[in-house]
Each structure stands twice: as C-alpha cells, then as structure tokens.
Amino acid sequence: MLDFLFFDTAAREPERRALWVDEQLYCYGDLAARAGRIAAGLNCVMPRDGARRCLLFAHRSVAAYAGLLGIMRAGLAYVPLNPTVPAARIAATIEQSKAPVLLVDRRCSARLEEVLLLLDECPAVFFIGDEDAPHSTCDARQARCADHWPRLPDMSNAARPAASRTPHDHAYVLFTSGSTGAPKGVPISHANASAYVAGQLQLLGREPDARHAQFCELSFDPSVHDMFVCWANGACLYVPATVEPIYNAGFIREHAITHWSSVPSVAAFMQQLRKLQPDEFPGLRVTCFGGEALPRFVVEAWQRAAPNGRIFNVYGPTETTIACAAFEVTPQFLAESSEATMPLGQAVPGMELLIVDAALSPVARGESGELLIGGPQVAAGYLRADEPNNRRFVERSYAGYRSSRWYRSGDAAREVAGHGVVFQGRLDTQIKIRGNRVEIEEVEQVIRACSRAAFCAVIPWPVDETGRADGLIAFLTGTPVDAAHVVSGCRQRLPAYAVPQRVIALDAMPLNANGKIDRRALAAHCVSRNALI
C-alpha cells in the first residue's frame, strides 16, 4: 500500500526527520501518531456504506500531511481540494467525488462556508487543526471558522480492526480539466502509485539522507512524487510557506535541498530574476522537470547553477500516475545536439510506450503517431463510469509488449535514435499553461454560459518558440461582447491560469476548408493586431 512507504519507516526509525513545514520539524513517529489519531476518528464517523473516499481541504500544513496519511490509514482514498481555485470549482469537485466526509485545516476553514453554500448536499465536515503549530498565517476570521467545525472524535485509545484493503483500492483521486465542461476525477490505486514509487527508486536510487522540496499543492500529482519517493527513502520533505519563485533559490540554499521537482516555467522565471547564478546550488543532486516542454536554455542555466546534480525531463498524464517516461539530460547530450526542447526519453521502469496510427496499429520507427502508454501505473478509468473520455483506455495486445491495457495520451510523438520518444504536440485541444493541464473545451463552455455568444473559440497565446503557452485569448461572435463580464464569469468558475487574458469580438469566425474554426487564422489575427499579453 502507498501509505506503508511512510508507516514502515515510522515503525523502524520513529525519530528520523520526516517533514519540515510552518517553520517546524516533525519526525516520522510524531507524524505517524497524528495520522493514527485521524484514522481512528475517521473509522468512527465514516458511513459503512457509500464511497470510500474522504475530502481534504488543507493548505500545506502539518494537518494536511497528517490528514492524507490518516485518510489512507483508515482504508480510504484522499481527495485533495485545491484552495487556490474559485469556490465554484471546489464545489464541483466535492459534488463529483461523492465523498461523505471532508477534513479541513485552519487555513482553509475561512473559505469553506462559501463553498458549502454552493452545494445541494454537503459532506460531514471535521476540523483537523494543527494545535501546536504556529498560527502566524491565521487571522481572527480563520480562527473563528475553525472553531465552528467539530473535531474528529478522539478514538486513539480504542481498539479497532485494521482497515481491510487490496492493492486495487484507490489511494487518492485527483481532478483534472475536463473536455465536457467540468473537472473529471482520476482515481489512482495503491498498486498504480506503489509501482510508480518503485520505478522511481530504481531510476533515481535510494538516498535516505536526502532533503526533498515540495512546491506544488496536494491537488497536483507531482506532490505524490515529492512525498512518497521521499518517505520511501526515509528522507525528509521540506515545504516552503510560499511557492513564489522569487524565494525558491534562498529556500534551496537555506535548507540544503538535494531533490527538486517543478515545471520548467518556474526555473525560467528564476533565471529571469537572476537566481540561477553559476554554482548556486552545489548540493542539489536530482532535479525533475515535468508538466510542459523543457527548453534547452532552462536546462543549460540550471546545469550551471547545480553542477553536481542530475537533471531529468519527465513526462506523464495524470491517468498514468505522475510520470511514465524520463530522459536524463547529460552534458554530452547538450554538446552533441541542437534541439530547442528536451526529448521525453524512454519508459520508466515497469512501463511501456508505443506509437500508433489512427487505427491503433504500430507505426514504423521514426514515423509520427499517437503515444500509447501501458503498464502497472495506468489507472483503471475515470471516477464516473459515464465519463466520455473512458474511451481513452483501450484493451489491446501487441507483439513484443507485456501490456494488454493502454492509455491513449492524445500526444503526437515519434521515436528518434539516441533520444527515445520525442513530443510533437497535441492531437486535440488540450494544452498546458505553466504546467497546468487545460482543456480548451472546458474554457469555451464556461465562456458560452456567461456570454451567450453564437460562436466561441479559445486559443493559447502568447506561445514561445518551444511551443509553451503563457495564457489564453477568447474570440466571440454573434452577440455584443462585454469583455469584463466574460472575464469575471470565468474567474468564478475556472482556475486563474485558465481565465482568458483577453476577449476579442469578431464579426465572423474564420473557417478552414473542412468548415471548422481555423485556429491558425485566429493566431495570425493576434499577431496582426499585436495582441500580446
């Protein structure tokens, strides 16, 4: 089980350092005890029937980490809610999860009432406050709201049977942008996640004295890598109070961080701030970049700043558990190649990659096609059985491959000698903005709902020379356009990174030869109007 990777270390070496957060250091034994109390309380309040899931509305506090460990210890899947997105989106996630219980920490308690007012049916709410942690970040309103919610009953001294679980039970559920206009849940089993961690330990090696940093929210799957690859090593996780890139370099140096993972955009911003000086991070041993294309200039700058470390470009949709491919960028590769972006590389240990044509038949080596992903990390499907995208999971056997079940990534790719798999763009309209997955259809549906436009099209803009998008522009026809109203409506339902930065009214949408909206013409329109954001 995924949580065993933590609790086994806690049983062997309870005094070993496990977590630094809120300016305090917690050992494995202390964090395990907190998680145990939460698990005991959940076993008392959790309905016997219904979904075996528990919502976690917590913001990078000791309560958050004890909470997710306690949820799994109780035999449940944790469903993290992102505290940085609009209340309507949080409410939509709660409704889709059908989880009967929600745990909230002090920092998120002030927002919870706003979220619950949007629900037809509310889960039972329990406060899991960090009583002995500093509350310097909590204002009086947060304190009052926290006191409003009951605490889990203290059942820590009560005898209770161990949670009955199998490797196929869900460990956690993450929600990604959905092409149908609503976020879609991706349940990841203990078997999926444990296979990932085992592969990472084989790829990266074991380093029990390591110090891993976590800069993303718990609602993003790289957080699972940060936590459980760290704890499987018996290492310590360091969580900064802020994720603003301007403070990253100082945090790495102050805490002697050895393992770092982030999207390339964060490193690019650090470079712009002149935070990647030569030999800036001599103690950094492993860096993993993922979530979007990794530009050469970012790698070169990072390599100068961390000359003693290894750099990996990692790739993988949420549906295949964090990362299914990796490419180690070496000085030799940079010296011998001129590629502007780094390859995706080879499958991580235990996984398989295959490039196929539209009929799902393998293409010849070097030809382009859709990337299929197989192996023990592939999820069983989406949370909702009627989710249209379940068709992306296909059953098929191929000669020379072990996998009989594959995930259609929607990514165009080809295999290049010495590089492995090379990404060549999307086959649909899904994009990444600063590492965040965005379905264009979801944004367009929200805009239609708040504008009543006859036609709506959204494109990524601006896009740099490596294909990375920094924002969105929306085009509308058929109605007087109130740009401020459209943007306001989007902010109420979409994460900040998915809100269009500009809304443009057109007399008519440009169409291509097939009668579909010509998005290339819309991009050219941005160029001609100098519509840079």
Output the CA–CA distances (angstroms, integers) from residue 282 to 105, 252, 267, 310, in the order listed: 36, 10, 16, 12
Every domain of the chain with CATH number 3.40.50.12780 lies at 192-428
> Model confidence at 374, in pLDDT bands (50, 70, 90)?
very high
Output the CA–CA distances (angstroms, integers) from residue 220 to 69, 184, 318, 481, 517, in the order listed: 16, 13, 9, 34, 32
pLDDT value for 101? 97
Q: Please determine, for residue 237, whether its predicted confidence score (pLDDT) is greater than 60.
A: yes
pLDDT value for 25? 97
Every domain of the chain with CATH number 3.30.300.30 lies at 433-528
Lookup: tokens for 151? 């605490």
346 contacts 204 by C-beta, under 8 angstroms: no
349 contacts 196 by C-beta, under 8 angstroms: no
> Model confidence at 135, in pLDDT bands (50, 70, 90)?
very low
Lowest mean pLDDT among 129-133, 236-240, 293-297: 129-133
**Coil, strand or helix at 281:** coil
What one-character-per-residue DSSP string does 376-429 give?
A: TTS-S--SSTT-GGGGGEEE---TT---SEEEEEEEEEEEETTTEEEEEEESSS
Q: For residue 48, report the phi and psi dihedrals to the nearest 5 degrees.
A: -75, -30
Mean pLDDT of 454-469: 79
Instruction: Quote the DSSP letter at residue 152.
Output: P
Q: Determine whether 520 is exposed, middle or buried from the number of CB atoms within 10 Å of its CB (0-12, 13-18, 19+).
A: exposed
Among residues 233, 167, 336, which one has the least CA distance to residue 9? 233
> Rounded to an integer, what distance in angstroms lies between the CA atom of residue 445 and that of residue 357?
30
Q: Please determine, for residue 453, whether its predicted confidence score (pLDDT) is greater than 80.
A: no
Hey, which CATH number is domain 28-165, 3.90.550.10, 3.40.50.980, 3.40.120.10, 3.40.50.20? 3.40.50.980
Three-state secondary structure along 85-133?
CCHHHHHHHHHHHCCCEEEECHHHHHHHHHHHCCCCCCCEEEECCCCCC
**pLDDT digits over 476-508, tens only?**
987 777 888 899 999 998 999 999 999 988 888
**pLDDT digits over 26-79, tens only?**
999 999 999 999 999 999 999 988 889 999 999 889 999 999 999 999 999 999
Instruction: Quote the DSSP letter at residue 226.
Output: I
* Residue with the larger pLDDT of the pair 44 and 469: 44
Q: Please, which residues have CB within 8 angstroms of residue 430's CB and are 6 or more apart in sequence?
A: 177, 179, 410, 437, 438, 439, 440
**pLDDT digits over 323-335, tens only?**
999 999 999 999 9
**pLDDT digits over 304-321, tens only?**
999 999 999 999 999 999
> Rounded to an integer, what distance in angstroms lies between the CA atom of residue 378 and that of residue 322?
10
Among residues 227, 190, 187, which one has the least CA distance to residue 66? 227
**pLDDT digits over 507-519, tens only?**
888 877 656 678 8
Q: Is the bond into 331 cis (omega within 30 degrees of 0)?
A: no
Q: Please determine, for residue 529, whether its predicted confidence score (pLDDT) is greater than 70.
A: no
> Rounded to an integer, what distance in angstroms lies between the CA atom of residue 444 and that of residue 101?
32
pLDDT value for 532? 42
| pLDDT above 90: percentage of residues in the chain | 62
Which CATH number is 192-428 given?
3.40.50.12780
Q: Please determine, for residue 445, whether its predicted confidence score (pLDDT) is greater than 90.
A: no
Mean pLDDT of 400-410: 96
Every domain of the chain with CATH number 3.40.50.980 lies at 28-165
Q: Bridge partners of 439? A: 430
Mean pLDDT of 422-439: 82
487 contacts 472 by C-beta, under 8 angstroms: no
> Model confidence at 179, in pLDDT bands (50, 70, 90)?
low
413 contacts 368 by C-beta, under 8 angstroms: yes
Q: Please determine, for residue 267, whether its predicted confidence score (pLDDT) is greater than 50.
A: yes
A 10 A CB-CB count for 194 gives: 22
| pLDDT above 70: percentage of residues in the chain | 91
**pLDDT digits over 202-218, tens only?**
999 888 899 999 988 99
- Average model confidence (pLDDT) across the chain: 89
Domain 433-528, CATH class in plain words: alpha beta
> Model confidence at 158, in pLDDT bands (50, 70, 90)?
low
Mean pLDDT of 421-442: 83
Which residue in this structure is represented by tokens 């970040």?
Answer: 137
